[in-house]
Each structure stands twice: as C-alpha cells, then as structure tokens.
Chain A
Amino acid sequence: MADAPDTVKKVLEVTDLVTHYGPRLILKGVSMSVRDGEIMVIMGGSGSGKSTLLRHLMVLERKTSGTVRLLGEDIDKLSARELNDLRKKTGVAFQGGALFSSMTVGENIMLPLYEHTDLDPMTMEIMARMKLEVVNLAGFEHLMPSELSGGMIKRAAVARAIIMDPKVLFMDEPSAGLDPAVSSSLDDLILRLRDAMNMSIVVVTHELESAFKIADRITVLDKGEILFIGTVEELRAHPSERIQNLLNRRAEDDTIDPDEYLSRLTGDTTVGTATL
C-alpha cells in the first residue's frame, strides 16, 4: 500500500524498521510516515507489533536496523543532548497515564516546564491550568493521581503531554478500559488537539470505532508487517481477507506448524526462534 507522497511534509518517517525481542523478530522491515497535522492511527491485533512500533517512534527501544526520522532528524545521528531537545517537541500519553503517584496532578503537568524552562512558578501554574481546561479537568490540579478515575487519568496524561506544545503527540491505547461515553469524549479531545493546536498525532489502538472516528489515515500491522496504510474509506473497501477479518473481528485460521507446536510444548525453542 502506498505511503504519503514525497511532496507532503512529514513529521515522522520510518524506513525498513527491523527489531528483535531477544531472538524473536518483532518488526519485519516496517516503513511508514506521518504527515504534518494528521492523525495517524496504528491498528493491529494482539502481538502484531503496534506497541513495539510506537516505542520505537518514541525512541524508547533499540532497533536492529532501519531508520527513524522524527521532525526531520535521523535519531541515530543525534547526541544524547540533541535527542533530549528533540523530545521536548514531542508529547506522549501512555496507556495507563504514567502519572507520578507522589505528585499532584498539577505538579505532574508542570514537571516538563519545571525541568526544561526558566519560567516562574506562577506562570507554570497558569499554563498547567490552561492545559487542564483543554482536557476538561479544570480545578483538579490539587488532587493526587490516585484520586482520579481512569478517564480522568488519561486526560491528565494528555494535559502533561501537551504542556510544552509539542509538534507530535503519541498516544498509546487512549480508549482502553474506558466506557463508550468516556472513550468518545477522549476521541473528541484528540480531534480538538489536531484542529486547535495543529498537532500531528500518532494513536495506537485496537478500538475500531475510535480509530474510524479520529483517523486521517490508518496503518494496519499484522505479525510485524504492514498490511495497509490509507484512509478509513480505503480500509473499509480493501479486498484483503486478512484486513476484512480484522475489521470484522474474526479470528484468523492460522495453520499450525506441528514442529513449532511440539517445540513449544517441550520447551525447545530452537525451532520456533529460527522461524520468528
């Protein structure tokens, strides 16, 4: 499937990304890109490699080969300091929020400002309140993360992720574990962030409804390979049986390799690792 044309400005480009987890091959030469100001949804079933891909996009893992260019910079060619500077232009909202439990919501949100700017505390507090307004959590800055609901934690995590006004926002399973109403309001928030702040947003999710609602384009991963990159309409109309199975939530009829199955049962991993 064709990726973004070269004329379109890209904030993120991945080329032939290969990665292993121990002896297991996880990503098998993934290439994709994210355009400026678009919401790119990465989808796939469990074990498809979508979370691993996201960790590589966030520069949290060492890859085996391939290149990742973030905001035009090849991350392999950056010094630690340059990488840190680049990271200030990105934001991440983790699946579980990853708020620091020893800090209040307000302190969590202000932390990047406290660490990376010389702003006075009053200005930082005002900025934190502004971001809390954006995510509809105004007035909650004095609470501890343990006092928030699951949906509120995710919103607070988004507020922290956007406090430095990043150019690229990464979100890992924003709808996971939330009821439909809260999930829908988070989707609306993601759309607002793109429209109001012109952010490029990369969302990893397995929630089809959410993906179809927010995505400008969708990348579908399966077993460490890209099956599809394109718009929601192109995805719905795609003839591939594997993609239609994914959309219709049908389990694939995987053929079991008897040698591999036996080796897994007996604990001998040599057969399995050679093929993965």
Chain B
Amino acid sequence: MASIGNFVERVGRATVAAVEEVGNGGVLVVQSLYWVFVGAQQRQPVRIASVFVQMMEIGIKAVPIIAMLAATIGMMLAIQSIYTLRIFGAESRVTIGIALSVTREFAPLITGILVAGRSGSALAARIGTMKINQEIDALHVMGINPVRFLVVPALLASVVMVPSLTIFSDFMGLLAAGLYINLELGISLAAYVSELQAVLHVDDVMHGLGKSMIFSVLIAVIGVVNGASVTGGAEGVGKVTTRAVVLSISAIIVTDMIFAFVATR
C-alpha cells in the first residue's frame, strides 16, 4: 500500500513539475515578445548585433552539416523509393514521393533535430553555466533584463534561421535525390526539376516551413528553460544540456506528428 502511495506521489510530483516547466516556457515566450515590441520604449532595446551573432551560430555554422545530412537523406529516399516502386514497375514515378517526403517531412524534421543537437544544447549549457557563475545575477544587478539580453536574440535567430535552413535542406535533399535518380534511372536533371515543379505546390513547402517555425521556438525555449533550471556545478550543466537535447528532439517529433495530422484533415 505504501509503495502504491509512493508511486502516486512520484507521478503527482512529476506531473506538477512538467506543468510548471510548460508554464515557464510559455511565460518566456510572452516575456520575449514583450521585449521585442516594448523593449525600446523601456530603454532596453533588443540589440540587432546580438541577433546576428546568434544567427551566425545557429544558422550559418550549421550549413555544412545540414547540407551533408539533407543530401544523404534525399539520396536514401531515392534509393528506397526506387527499390519499392520497382516491385510494381513504377520506378519512373519516384519523383512525387521524394518531393513530398522531403519538403513536408524530412527536411524540417532533420533540420529541427540537428539544430536542437547543436544549438539547443549550446543554449542550455550557456545559460546553465552563466547561472552557476552568477552571470545572470550580474545582469540583474546591472539593470539588464536577462530575457531581453540572452533569450530574445537566440529566439529571434532561431525563428529566422531554422526555416531558412529548412529551405536549404529542401534544396539539398531534392538535388541529391535528383542526382541519384539521374544515375540510376537515366532521368535527366532538367526532366526531374520539371516534374518537381509539376508535383510540388506552395502548400507543401509552407507545410514544412510552418513546422520548422514551431520547432525553432521549441528548441530555443526548451534550451533556455532547462539551462535556467540548473543546480549544482559542472555536472548540473551536463545534466540540463542532455535533458534539453532529449526534450527538444522528443517535442519536435511529437509536434511533427500532431502538425501533420491537423494539417492533413
């Protein structure tokens, strides 16, 4: 009986903690919006230079790895699709499956996961380390709001760069798939691009971009909330960093499924 009570208590505590965490994330988004729109009036404007620094970190420096993995995913999709369609003798219809899969699903998903691994973890580690070293306190006592100074630049940069990287990922994935199809089926790149134009609609690309926009907010908010919850020393920073990555990727995948379900009704 006591063990059942302990179990219920643990579940209850975990639920309350989870709700609190979601609430903290929501408050963070609202505070960020406040500083974006009201910061200048409060004589605490969001510094554009800080946003560009974060855009460099989150976006530009991620280009090589995004290019490599998007191309790999595009090629892998082409290999699997040709293999599957060959059973029905319909391998020449491979383009439609690849086009929709890459733009609607794989490009935003792989981009979101990669940015969560690179930048979400870095954000959590940075905030966590700053909290332990009293750098967040230092901002407070200097009259500098930490949300405006640290969170808003990362959030804005994420919202701009994750969708941008997703478009780049679309391009690289489709290009790599086209090259493989050219080699395997002898379909020219011009014919492949022409078929892409015929099967792809703006809605398909926007579906992926809409998702990536949500992923970008999730990555930044989860990174900051976890970083801010750090306790202990360097070990604590390691724990919150790992947690931020796991939670971000989980949230991205679950959101992806919900978004796909709602958007296809």
Which residues of A pack against B, CB within 8 Å?
Answer: 58-60, 81, 83-85, 87-88, 90-92, 94-96, 98-101, 111-112, 115-116, 170
Residues on A with C-beta less than 8 A from B137 are: 58, 60, 92, 94, 98
Residues on A with C-beta less than 8 A from B140 are: 59-60, 87
CB-defined interface of B34-67 with A at 8 Å, one 1/0 digit per residue? 0000000011100000000000000000000000
Interface residues of B in 115-130 (CB under 8 A from A): 129-130
- One of B43, B130, B138 near A94 (C-beta < 8 A): B138
A88 to B42 CA separation, bound complex (whole angstroms): 14
Residues on A with C-beta less than 8 A from B143 are: 83-85, 87-88, 112, 115-116
User: Total interface residues on B, using CB and 8 Å?
Assistant: 16
A90 → B minimal CB distance (Å): 7
A90 to B129 CA separation, bound complex (whole angstroms): 25
- One of B43, B133, B149 near A98 (C-beta < 8 A): B133
A59 to B141 CA separation, bound complex (whole angstroms): 8
Residues on B with C-beta less than 8 A from A111 are: 142, 144
Asked if B144 contacts A96 (CB within 8 A), the reply is no
B149 → A minimal CB distance (Å): 8
A261 → B minimal CB distance (Å): 25
> Given A81-B42, A115-B44, A101 and B133 touching (CB < 8 A)?
yes
- Interchain residue pairs with CB less than 8 A apart (29): A58-B137, A58-B141, A59-B140, A59-B141, A60-B137, A60-B141, A84-B143, A87-B140, A87-B141, A88-B142, A88-B143, A90-B141, A91-B141, A92-B138, A95-B134, A96-B134, A98-B135, A98-B137, A99-B135, A100-B135, A101-B133, A111-B144, A112-B142, A115-B44, A115-B142, A115-B144, A116-B43, A116-B143, A170-B141
Residues on B with C-beta less than 8 A from A59 are: 140-141
Centre residue among B42, B44, B135, B149 by max chain A CB count within 10 A: B135
A21 → B minimal CB distance (Å): 14
Residues on B with C-beta less than 8 A from A98 are: 133-135, 137-138
17 more CB-based (< 8 A) A-B contacts, given A91-B141, A112-B143: A59-B140, A81-B42, A84-B44, A84-B143, A85-B143, A87-B143, A90-B141, A92-B137, A92-B138, A92-B141, A92-B142, A98-B135, A98-B137, A101-B129, A115-B143, A115-B149, A170-B141
Residue of B nearest to A95 (CB): B134
A215 to B130 CA separation, bound complex (whole angstroms): 31
Residue of B nearest to A111 (CB): B142
A46 to B137 CA separation, bound complex (whole angstroms): 21
A111 to B121 CA separation, bound complex (whole angstroms): 26
A115 to B42 CA separation, bound complex (whole angstroms): 12
Residues on A with C-beta less than 8 A from B43 are: 116
Chain A facing B: main interface SS: mixed
A100 to B130 CA separation, bound complex (whole angstroms): 8
Centre residue among B42, B44, B141 by max chain A CB count within 10 A: B141
Residues on B with C-beta less than 8 A from A100 are: 130, 135, 138
Residues on B with C-beta less than 8 A from A96 are: 133-134
Residues on A with C-beta less than 8 A from B130 are: 100
Residue of A nearest to B134 (CB): A98
Residue of A nearest to B130 (CB): A100
Residue of A nearest to B45 (CB): A115
Residues on A with C-beta less than 8 A from B134 are: 94-96, 98
A60 → B minimal CB distance (Å): 6
Residues on A with C-beta less than 8 A from B149 are: 115
Residue of B nearest to A172 (CB): B134
A19 to B31 CA separation, bound complex (whole angstroms): 27
Residues on A with C-beta less than 8 A from B142 are: 87-88, 92, 111-112, 115
A102 → B minimal CB distance (Å): 8
A101 to B135 CA separation, bound complex (whole angstroms): 9
A98 to B139 CA separation, bound complex (whole angstroms): 9
Residues on B with C-beta less than 8 A from A85 are: 143
A57 to B137 CA separation, bound complex (whole angstroms): 13
Residue of B nearest to A163 (CB): B142
A94 → B minimal CB distance (Å): 5
CB-defined interface of B131-158 with A at 8 Å, one 1/0 digit per residue? 0011101101111100001000000000
Residue of A nearest to B144 (CB): A115
A118 → B minimal CB distance (Å): 10
